[in-house]
Amino acid sequence: MPAVKSHAALYRRVTLRVAPLVLLLYFIAFLDRVNIGFASLTMNRDLGISDTLYGLAAGIFFLGYLLFAVPSNSALARVGAPRWVSFLMVSWGIVGCCTAFVHGPKMYMVLRFLLGAAESGFLPGIVFYLTRWLPGSARAGILALLYLAIPLSSVVGSPISAGILRMNGAYGLAGWQWLFLLEALPAILLGLAVPWLLDAGPATATWLSEDERVSLTSAMEAEAAAVPSSGSADRVPVTLVVALSCTYFMLMIGLYELGFWTPRLIASYGVGLRWLGWLNAVPYAVGAAVLLPWCRWSDRHGDRRLSLVVSFGCGAMGMILAALGGSLVLCVVGLSLAAFGVFVSMPVFWAASSQRIAVAAAALAIAIINSVGNVGGFIGPYVTGWLLARTHDYRAGLLATAAALIIGAFLAGAIFTRRRKVLEAGA
């Protein structure tokens, strides 16, 4: 058999071929998920939505997410990634368009729930899809490119969203209605094209040689054989999955504090729409800039535990600075540090987690961790809205989020240090 290129070169080629499309897909997904942060600046007044109700509506997305993530990921395993991702994108694009025409809080909350149901299988499905392409030891890099979509959705989307809001009154529609319509249409159009753009896996990738397919398969089989197992290979390690879900829960509180509340927090300093989009993009630009270098370092050194503890800790310190800084400049600096900590944690978390679960159990385990962990996306925004309604101050919510990230740092340190001794013994 002719020699194939080095594993590192092959993994880089796979990453550069697969990552751009999944990054674009997740970019659209996350933009449709968090654009209510900008829409709320005018929509809440028009629909009579209070701060508490806004937090509840922002978070109710994750109830749909929780209920439908596992069935959706099971369907993906049966139907295949290209067709199922296509169905999900068209579905949430339609829901996004419908949101533009709600007339009150009740229908708005129903559509947020349906959006969560439609998006529920997307991220765990994509993470599972990537496990078919690269071994876990080389996966943080491609996951970093995937998660680059989160800060990019705000770096690019914030000025666009602010600009769309300024279309208020055009053709009889409010600015927030235009926002939902124009940012939902790409999901429908790209979703229809996905079956022709997304390879199901290495076996169907015509751009790989037979030797390259064998090399990828051998590397993943060797890693799978090294995963400690108790019982059958497809058994989900319950204790490990619970611990990972709790860690991800804390991380999601931090992520959606940024996604749902940052525009309103910056606007509270008197910033108008002309500059709000650009200032809101700054923390996300910082997160985007450090994401890939940090994950490459994590891949090279293999110390996932240290990487996660440091990044969770930086996220917490950023939230504290944003809460207590007392000025717009320190607020933006704190949010930038928080964005760094939160964004770099996500790909490293999934790379480390997927290395510890047998391939046969990965689809179900990833779906459970993602859906249960994302309950943090419900709890966090709701608690912040509740605290804001009672204190009329964003500091309480930011400090509560910092506390959650500190807990996450301790959990990550415990999980990835004592995994074999404690967690898998109880699986």
- Cα(202)–Cα(387) distance, integer angstroms: 49
Residue 321 or 148, more confident: 321
What pLDDT, on a 0 to 100 scale, did the predictor assign at position 153? 82
pLDDT digits (tens, 9 = 90+) for 25-38: 989 988 888 888 89
Average pLDDT of the residues in 206-227: 79
Report if residue 219 sits inside a domain: yes
Pairwise pLDDT comparison (314 vs 305), residue with the higher score = 314
CATH of the domain at 75: 1.20.1250.20
The one-character DSSP state at 6 is P
Taking the complete model, does pTM exceed 0.85, yes or no?
A: no
Among 17-21, 148-152, 370-374, 391-395, name the most confident range: 391-395
Higher pLDDT, 115 or 135: 115
For the chain, give the mean pLDDT.
85
Q: What is the mean pLDDT of residues 261-273?
A: 89
Tell me the average pLDDT across 116-129: 83
Residue 2, domain member (yes or no): no
The conformation of residue 205, written as its DSSP 8-state character, comes to -
- Mean pLDDT confidence for 280-293: 88
Nearest of 203, 169, 210, 164 to residue 183 by alpha carbon: 164
At residue 228 the predicted structure's pLDDT band, cuts being 50, 70 and 90, is: low
CA atoms within 13 A on the CB side of 421: 5
* Choice between 120 and 94, residue whose per-residue pLDDT is larger: 94
Query: What would you report as the CA-atom Rg of the chain, rounded to the nearest whole angstrom?
Result: 21
State the pLDDT at residue 421: 42
68 is a domain residue: yes
Nearest to 55 by CA among 248, 257, 252, 247: 257
Using 50, 70 and 90 to split pLDDT, how confident is the model at 227?
low
More confident call, 416 vs 207: 207
Average pLDDT over residues 70-84: 82
Q: Tell whether the model's pLDDT for residue 419 goes beyond 70.
A: no
Mean pLDDT, rounded, for 168-176:
94
The pLDDT of residue 346 is above 90? no
- Give the percent of the chain with pLDDT over 70: 90
SS3 171: helix
Q: How far apart are CA 165 and CA 390, in angstroms?
A: 28
Phi, psi of 229 (to 5 degrees): -135, 140
Residue 42 domain flag: yes
The count of structural domains within the chain is 1
The pLDDT assigned to 131 comes to: 78
Residue 232 belongs to domain spanning: 7-426
SS3 2: coil
**What would the two tokens of residue 226 be?**
């090294």
CB 334 within 8 A of CB 359: no
Q: In the prediction, which pLDDT does 133 show?
A: 84
CB 331 within 8 A of CB 322: yes
In-domain check, residue 1: no
pLDDT in the model for residue 233: 47
SS3 174: coil
Which sign does the torsion angle of CA 3, 6, 11, 16 carry? negative
Rounded to an integer, what distance in angstroms lies between the CA atom of residue 369 and that of residue 367? 6
